[in-house]
Amino acid sequence: MGLVGVQENGDGNGDVLSEISLGTKPKYTRMDSDLDEAEEEDLPSSNKHDSKKYIMACAVFASLNSVLLGYAQLLLLRFREQAIWTKCGYKDVGVMSGAIIFIQQDLKITEVQQEVLVGILSIISLLGSLAGGKTSDVIGRKWTIGLAAVIFQTGGAIMALAPSFKVLMIGRLLAGVGIGFGVMIAPVYIAEISPAIARGSLTSFPEICINLGILLGYISNYEFSELPPHINWRLMLGVGLLPSLVIALALFIIPESPRWLVVQNRIEEARLVLRKISESEKEAEEKLKEIQVAAGLANAEKYEAKAVWKEILCPSPPVRRMLITGCGIQCFQQITGIDTTVYYSPIIFKNAGITETTQLLAATVTVGFTKTLFILIAIFLIDKVGRKPLLYASTIGMTVCLFSLSLSLAFLDHAKVGIVLAILSVCGNVASFSVGLGPICWVLSSEIFPLRLRAQASALGAVGSRVSSGIISMSFLSVSRAITVAGTFFVFGIISCSAVAFVHYCVPETKGKTLEEIEVLFHDKDDESQGNEVEMGDVERLMQKS
């Protein structure tokens, strides 16, 4: 959507933007403004610093629900590792001491029940994400975060106290819904409160929190594993409630999204929030006017319950391009095989020729360490280098590593050079993913959609990610038996190569642009004439109201 005023940073000048910190926001220039930049009145530097810390705190608190996802994923990871290590011929491996094993001992559940308990999380969480989009449009972004924490707390408490498998499943279902809500809403909320110059880094926080959740799971497994089986797994699950308790307290600190408040015509509340997260009152007013223009169409349609999904299912050309980009990047994140690379790394390394248990464990731990390290690197680069350059580096690096892994498994298995190449390829693939495609897909899906569609379109992308992940993870062993492990990763390499083309043709650079400016990137010349008529109508309505 074209805007009445365009920020000076909209020209994509990366050299200038890369030197600007979170506390330094670009100035706004509007048609009705006769002021020079020199005449802008800024707040004292201490207030700027307070604004920076406040936004950072909001992003951290909003990301805590992703800690729950990482912690819950560990149960899935431990069960898969148990099956994978057994397949590799190792019966007693310390790394397998996860909650699922003690649940099996205490509640005497069958292998099928274990599979259902583990697999149901992905299915229910994607349904939670889908429902979360509509919920956040109704009750707000902030309270959807709170609702996610309450649902997860309820489910986690039921699981920790469960006397039987049926009760355990009820808790698992509720926990899955809460996780689905939390994972969907966190990037949307952070994108809507963050300044353009730091939005990429802040919106990447949930990805870090997922890894922190996995780390928390490892620590709790280690600390409680020596306790009796009827107690230890309950404590392991109970520890997972801690982040949601922090979120409950954080609701008294973090504000509602100013963009959602504008859509609800709560203008004064939006103004107060913008003053907290802006450098000056003048900038807050400028941003408020921009958001009001962007929210004009959303306000016109907010009482039509089916309006949003009608626009998603029968999209205009610009919305269609947004959906292709947002949902496409989410699917490519998973169908390039990252989950199989991490989950099934013991099988990969065994096929390469590693036979010693300690060596297999060391190689597997190296993969996890590499993944976490490069996510941290991505956070520092995303707003300096930009989304698209990092996606190019990520997808090209993954393609090279996947092809080299396939070749090492096919032609150099059990040779020393083949083992080294396999380890380097797996770590390189994980590093390439973590520096680009991993965190950036969540950033893009939360910032490219217009305000009226953002929550529910982002939820649709999250569902696509979960479905793709489930299909790839569940089919890997069957496919690898049919065409070998080497052949499977060759296919992943081809898919990753197509991801490079997708990034080139379908993903625009959004670094340093406001959420309102990003809409313009998806309009072509044929759309502009129609878009301008709508935008001018929005402006006229706003002027009449004021």
pLDDT tens-digit series, residues 396-443: 999 999 999 999 988 887 788 888 898 899 999 999 999 999 889 888
For residues 233 and 224, what is the distance between their CA atoms, to the nearest angstrom?
Answer: 8
For residue 505, tell me if it sits in a domain: yes
Is 530 found in the same domain as 383?
A: yes
pLDDT in tens, 281-298: 888 888 888 888 877 645
pLDDT in tens, 433-484: 999 998 898 889 888 988 888 888 888 888 888 788 878 877 887 888 899 8
For residue 522, tell me if it sits in a domain: yes
Is 91 found in the same domain as 212?
A: yes
For residue 352, tell me if it sits in a domain: yes
Is 362 found in the same domain as 221?
A: no
Residue 536 — pLDDT band, cuts 50, 70, 90? very low
CATH number of the domain enclosing 349: 1.20.1250.20
For residue 178, tell me if it sits in a domain: yes
Residue 75 — pLDDT band, cuts 50, 70, 90? low
pTM for the whole thing?
0.73
Instruction: Tell me 24's DSSP state.
Output: -
List of residues 6+ apart from 346 with CB closer than 8 A: 81, 84, 85, 88, 360, 364
Residue 196 — pLDDT band, cuts 50, 70, 90? confident
- Domain containing 64 equals 46-71+85-254
For residues 328 and 297, what is the distance between their CA atoms, to the nearest angstrom?
Answer: 26
Is 443 found in the same domain as 518?
A: yes
For residues 205 and 532, what is the distance between their CA atoms, to the nearest angstrom?
Answer: 36
Is 244 found in the same domain as 320?
A: no
Last residue within a domain, chosen from 234, 254, 274: 254
Residue 343's nearest CA partner among 88, 167, 2 is 88
In which region does residue 354 sit, left (phi positive, over 0), alpha (psi from -120 to 50) or beta (all else)?
beta
Q: Which single residue is written with the structure tokens 């650079």?
A: 509
For residues 195 and 24, what is the distance between their CA atoms, to the nearest angstrom?
Answer: 9
Q: Residue length, the chain?
A: 546
- For residue 51, the tally of other CB atoms under 10 A from its CB is 21
For residue 273, tell me if it sits in a domain: no
* Most trustworthy range by pLDDT among 71-75, 241-245, 359-363, 485-489: 485-489
Determine the average pLDDT of the residues in 513-540: 61
Is 240 found in the same domain as 342?
A: no
For residues 514 and 283, what is the distance between their CA atoms, to the nearest angstrom?
Answer: 13
Tokens of 531: 């878009």
For residue 374, tell me if it sits in a domain: yes
Is 328 found in the same domain as 404?
A: yes
Q: Is the pLDDT of residue 309 over 80?
A: no
For residues 9 and 285, what is the distance between their CA atoms, to the nearest angstrom?
Answer: 18
- For residue 336, the tally of other CB atoms under 10 A from its CB is 29
Burial of 400 (0-12, 13-18, 19+ CB in 10 A): middle
For residue 457, tell me if it sits in a domain: yes
Is 329 found in the same domain as 248?
A: no
- pLDDT averaged over every residue in the chain: 77
Query: Is 164 strand, coil or helix?
Result: coil
Residue 259's nearest CA partner among 247, 273, 245 is 273
Is 126 found in the same domain as 213?
A: yes
Last residue within a domain, chosen from 228, 254, 280: 254
Determine the average pLDDT of the residues in 171-186: 86
Q: Which residues in 31-178 belong to E strands, given as ranges?
A: none
Is 64 found in the same domain as 207?
A: yes
Amino acid 411: pLDDT: 86
- Can you give the C-alpha Rg of the chain in angstroms? 24
Tokens of 291: 């958001």
Is 245 found in the same domain as 338?
A: no
In which region does residue 7 sit, left (phi positive, over 0), alpha (psi from -120 to 50) or beta (all else)?
beta
For residue 119, tell me if it sits in a domain: yes
Give how many domains the chain has, as a whole number.
2
Instruction: Tell me 11's DSSP state.
Output: G
For residues 459 and 410, what is the distance between their CA atoms, to the nearest angstrom?
Answer: 39
For residues 64 and 67, what is the distance between their CA atoms, to the nearest angstrom?
Answer: 5
Burial of 392 (0-12, 13-18, 19+ CB in 10 A): middle
